[in-house]
């Protein structure tokens, strides 16, 4: 297991504009974010899962860990 760098931890907020949301995450990683936590308290399961998959693609590209908050079902179905 690799050491996880918690020096700059991004916790996402619900966004109505998915494209801007994903771009912001990528820009944050390029700016030095070392871990991303996705939180979507009001999203339907399928919507949240689809968003999590897209966020995971970005975080994986930069080898940044992703935490899926409050939704074990979404985190396990990758």
Q: What is the pLDDT of residues 5-62, one digit of tens each?
A: 777 888 987 767 899 999 999 999 999 999 999 988 888 888 888 999 999 999 999 9
Q: Where are the beta strands (DSSP E) in 26-75?
A: 35-38, 66-68
Reported as type and span, the H/E element at residue 20 is helix 18-30
Predicted TM-score (pTM) of the model is 0.84
Q: Rounded CA gap, 16 and 63, in Å?
A: 26
Burial class of 68 by CB neighbour count within 10 A (0 to 12, 13 to 18, 19+): buried
Any idea which residue has 């936590």 for tokens?
37
């Amino acid at each position: 297991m690799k050491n996880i760098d918690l020096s700059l931890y991004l916790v996402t907020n619900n966004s109505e504009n998915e494209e801007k949301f994903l771009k912001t995450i990528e820009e944050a990683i390029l700016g030095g974010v070392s871990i991303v936590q996705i939180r979507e308290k009001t999203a339907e399961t399928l919507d949240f899962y689809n968003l999590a998959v897209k966020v995971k693609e970005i975080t994986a590209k930069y080898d940044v860990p992703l935490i899926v908050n409050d939704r074990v079902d979404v985190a396990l179905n990758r």
